[in-house]
Amino acid sequence: MKKSHKIVVAFLFSIIVFTLITFLETIAIVLFKVESFNFQPTIFGQNLVYVHIQDNMFKANVPWTGVIIFGLLGSSIQLLINKFSKSDKQVY
């Protein structure tokens, strides 16, 4: 697989993992019957996710900034892996 394709796959995989973990933990919180819960982490001043549970009302929101930040984080990690990988040496 080309290095550029690996970066795109890492970008998409990071987004999928981020949203999957967010919603699975939210579902677990609902199943354990937590009555009131508010979770709103931020990075670089931007909201990553918003989870609010109160009186059996459930609201979860994944803003685009959180998706983009985690996608860029995953792709930059893959870029570093590609850069320092020794298996991509050219053979002449």
pLDDT at residue 28, as a whole number: 81
Mind listing the pLDDT tens digit for each residue in 15-52?
Answer: 888 778 877 877 887 788 777 878 787 777 777 778 78
90 part of a folded domain: no
pLDDT at residue 86, as a whole number: 63
89 part of a folded domain: no
18 part of a folded domain: yes
Domain containing residue 46? 3-84
pLDDT, mean over the chain:
77
State how many domains the chain has: 1
- What's the pTM value of the predicted model, to 2 decimals? 0.62
pLDDT at residue 92, as a whole number: 47
Query: By C-alpha distance, which of 52, 15, 25, 55 is closest to 37?
Result: 52
pLDDT at residue 76, as a whole number: 83
Query: By C-alpha distance, which of 15, 19, 23 is closest to 73?
Result: 15
